[in-house]
Structure 1
Amino acid sequence: MLPTQRGPVGVRVTSGSAAVAGAAWAWQQPSVLLIEDDEADALLVEELVADCTPGMRLTWVRSLAEAREVLIAATPDCVLLDLHLPDSHGLEGVARVRQHADVAVVVLTGLAEESAGLDAVAAGAQDYLVKGRVEAELFGRAVRYAIQRKLAEQAAAALQAGQLRAEENRRLERGLLPTPLLKETADLEVVARYLPGREQALLGGDFYDVVQTPDGSVHALIGDVSGHGPDEAALGVGLRIAWRTLVVSGATGARRLATLEEILIAERTGEQIFATLTSLELPPDGRSVRVMRAGHPGMLLRSGTGVEWIEVPGGPALGVLPGGAARWPVEDVALPEEAGLVLFTDGLFEGRTGPGRQRLGEQGLLELARSLAGLPAEAFVDELIGSAEALAEDYGGLADDVAVVHLQRQRQPPNE
């Protein structure tokens, strides 16, 4: 019999394999927790462990109460569980072990209660063994197979959870990244792109929308909810849908932003959550644009082969000054003929670049845009995002989500 030592809460620990005691098998040795109150039966298990090749690392406790302390400290690869303990009886023990740890369970039964072993497997155990009827080879195989089955169950559960997250992501995507609501006769070209940041498996809180009203005016929105995760993404969806509803219902000016702020404050998960956004209105004549800015970066104005940075006076981000104290002025900006407007979130210029790990910044983004000024709208947007990402490649790419919307009136053919 192998030497044993006392561990915490009266735990007895048995190490190694009699046949292969060296370190060569150490990396393969699973950790096994035996919960058994009968010392004779525990000694039988220790002998089986001693004869196993490769070996196991066995810890013995006498009750579920002692087992709980061990499971809290570290989860073993497998639990060998007697169904008759001082503090549990029958399938109750399986349920309590599974409550404390997501671990493979092999039940130990007597010869006359083999049906109880089958019931335990149905209740969540991976296998059962009949005491006194198991040889070392079968014992070792049963423990290792139980561990593998548990790992397969965990992998399947993780896959299912990943599929659910992917489905949720697709639902959020449909909410955050809508199809522009434009008339078939609209003379406006819209190019929209979204790029997740390097750390985000799901969409963040960036959102945009474009809607044309019956009078021919085109309204555009781009925004960014602070933080990352499903709560922020869901809040972004709510703000975008609310904005579209306000536009379609005829709400104008700062009333839209005030209503959006009320919704944000009611729906956000903490007082630290805020949202920046820019809202535009392009009248049918295309000669100007009305702009409202709530803590959001400026925009790019493309005309001819040039690009300028436009940043009109604005108000605070939504949620920063709750209680109706915030004000958002409406600013009119004249537009050259066939001008293009480029809205974006700050992830586009906050990537770190160069030896000094400096952010690209607004000026760097403007210079980059000017180098691409001669490109058509779609190529311009794709190259702008691609170039910003390439500059930040040495530091893992763009760290934040990026949304970009390019709006440009189409040239009308001359009347015949």
Structure 2
Amino acid sequence: MAGDAAASIELLLVEDDAGDALLVEELLIDGNVPNRLTWVRSLAEAREALAGGGRSRCVLLDLHLPDAQGLDALKVVLAEAPEAAVIVLTGLAEAEAGLAAVAAGAQDYLVKGQLEPEWLGRAIRYAVQRKQTETAAAALQTGRLRAEENARLERGLLPNPLLTTDDVSVVARYRPGRATSLLGGDFYDVVERPDGVHAVIGDVAGHGPVEAALGVCLRVAWRSFVLAGARGPRLLALLEQLLMAERDDEETFVTLTSVTLAPDRATAKVLRAGHPAMIVREPDGGARLVETRGGMALGLLPGMDDWQEDDVPLRPGTELVLFTDGLFEGETGPDGRRLDLDGLLRLAGRGGDLAAEPFVDFLITEAEEASAGYGGLGDDVAVLSLGWKE
């Protein structure tokens, strides 16, 4: 076809009558419509042309084909090419069919016996513009709904600590993975009770809306169980039972660490279920990895684990830094080398003089920069720092 290829409209003509197809082609030339026209004679050929997200921006569709009639053909084309504008071609006595086609999703209809070059060109241009507007509006609506869903998930995953004392330092951060701006399955919470300050950080395998919803469920359940008095391995067993009831996939599992700062301020009780070690920051600026006894992640072998609770001694001003594996699993080299826990500890040592809040921000920023040249941090990251104030 004539015309600038860069400005050409990709057209698919679905018409079994060779004479009508030739007429449409001549009208496009006379109407000076830059186009790249593909002509097919049946719905089956149209489906082949549209398969795999074809480039057609506009489909001219005859409603009477050898293998489809009326709105049935239109429905197939709309399903195969949801982003293409569709104009149906009708006979002189089929105005009602044309209106029905527009109501069913076509952008316009044209009567074959009344086609004029100018009308055809205008109809095609307007149809393409309307479809682009509809597509943009739909994308905007989808983005708004995703933002609202993200806000709901955020309220569930990232709660305000339930504290009655000012003697506890709590700093929490959440960073979604690079693949999506939506929150994933990482979660945390902090609750104060007479027997101490309880905290949890967890990670549902995966990072999408399903995992996020499950993370919300587990986070809320953890708070409820703690408020109801569940402690130690019994608490993890209850969470695992809930996970088994709520998960859609039997292979879904959850890692978590549960910590209790004892009222004597000298110890912290730690329970781990397949979760990474934590960093202990000492008042003098030193940092060390502490890997207490643990057990398998929740949901791997339901009912078969025996989680062990350990005591970690604390000095005044000691901070416990809990995190999910997204913080240290980013690639930092061309050979697939990762930051890993040792590299994360080195970063922690460099931020030894920082207070809790800037330290957490420093740790995340440095981990991101370490993997920036190799794709960045691909998984969600949650970090929770807590400890008694001096």
Q: 1:210 is paired with a residue of what secondary structure?
A: strand
Query: Using a 3 Å threshold, how does the CA distance of structure 1 residues 67 and 348 change in structure 2: closer, same or farther?
Result: closer
**What corresponds to 1:117 in structure 2?**
98
CA apart distance, 1:354: 5.3
Q: Conserved in 2, the CA contact under 8 Å of 1:341 and 1:408?
A: yes
CA distance in 1, matches of 2:256, 2:176: 18
TM-score, normalization by structure 2: 0.91
CA distance in 2, matches of 1:74, 1:410: 59
2:390 maps to 1:408: no
CA distance in 1, matches of 2:355, 2:321: 13
2:36 maps to 1:60: no
Q: Conserved in 1, the CA contact under 8 Å of 2:207 and 2:380?
A: no
Alignment partner of 1:242 out of 221, 244, 251 = 221
Query: Using a 3 Å threshold, how does the CA distance of structure 1 residues 95 and 275 change in structure 2: closer, same or farther?
Result: same
**What corresponds to 1:350 in structure 2?**
329
Q: 2:113 is paired with a residue of what secondary structure?
A: coil
Q: Conserved in 1, the CA contact under 8 Å of 2:207 and 2:379?
A: no
CA distance in 2, matches of 1:311, 1:87: 68
CA distance in 2, matches of 1:123, 1:277: 50
CA distance in 1, matches of 2:342, 2:41: 70
Counting only pairs closer than 5 Å after superposition, residues 10-409 of structure 1 correspond to structure 2 as: 16-17=1-2, 20=3, 25-72=4-51, 75=54, 76-85=56-65, 88-102=68-82, 103-114=84-95, 116-183=97-164, 185-213=165-193, 215-305=194-284, 306-322=286-302, 324-353=303-332, 358-409=337-388
CA apart distance, 1:220: 0.4
Query: Using a 3 Å threshold, how does the CA distance of structure 1 residues 314 and 46 change in structure 2: closer, same or farther?
Result: same
TM-score, normalization by structure 1: 0.86
Q: Deviations over 1:317-354 (max 9, x none)?
A: 112222x1111011111111221111111122222235
Give the aligned length: 387
CA distance in 1, matches of 2:376, 2:47: 45
CA distance in 2, matches of 1:351, 1:69: 42
Query: Using a 3 Å threshold, how does the CA distance of structure 1 residues 230 and 117 change in structure 2: closer, same or farther?
Result: same
CA apart distance, 1:59: 3.3
Q: Conserved in 1, the CA contact under 8 Å of 2:331 and 2:375?
A: no
Q: Conserved in 1, the CA contact under 8 Å of 2:186 and 2:215?
A: yes
After superposition, the CA RMSD in angstroms is: 2.3
Q: Conserved in 2, the CA contact under 8 Å of 1:289 and 1:333?
A: yes
CA distance in 2, matches of 1:61, 1:366: 64
Q: Deviations over 1:162-206 (max 9, x none)?
A: 2212211111111111111111x3411111111122223211111
CA distance in 2, matches of 1:144, 1:177: 48
Q: 1:273 is paired with a residue of what secondary structure?
A: coil
Q: If you compute each CA radius of gyration, which structure gives the higher value, 1 or 2?
A: 1
CA distance in 1, matches of 2:278, 2:20: 76
